Amino acid sequence: MANEEEVFFETEPGFCPDCGSILPLLGEKGGVQCYACDRKWGPEVFGDMAMTYTLQFNDKNTYAPPDKSVENDDDEENAEGPVVDRKCSQCGNDKMSYATLQLRSADEGQTVFYTCTKCKFKETENS
């Protein structure tokens, strides 16, 4: 462990007195080792710093799963994006939701991902 005369400069508690880097948190036993200069320090390098934390537990009745007894016939409410008129090649449904991403280079078109609102079949189209 370092002595007072070996300290190169004054730092705030929690920083390495040799190189000024932030120190890892102090464990239950022993000191800490600086990530940058590998110097080892005792708990006194943290001064009078104190760490506190509070754990909050939710009441077990806080979350209620959705009621499975009520079935929703409106497939568009469960869509994964905006809905368009497009025929599903799998089931023939005429409504599909879509999402777009730029997967190829910037000078090429975007990729459109279509999802059937009824059977959830997925198709892609490079535009």
**pLDDT tens-digit series, residues 80-107:** 788 999 999 889 999 999 888 888 888 8
Q: Whole-number mean pLDDT of the chain?
A: 79
* C-alpha radius of gyration, the chain, whole number: 30
pLDDT at 85: 92
Task: Categorize the per-residue pLDDT at 67 as very low, low, confident or very high, splitting at 50, 70 and 90.
Answer: low
Q: pLDDT category, 77, cuts 50, 70, 90? A: low
Q: From the CB of residue 74, how many other CB atoms can be counted at a distance below 10 Å?
A: 8
Segments of the chain assigned E as strands: 32-33, 40-41, 83-85, 95-101, 111-116, 122-126
Kindly state the tokens that stand for 123.
């198709």
Q: What is the pLDDT, as a whole number, of residue 70?
A: 45
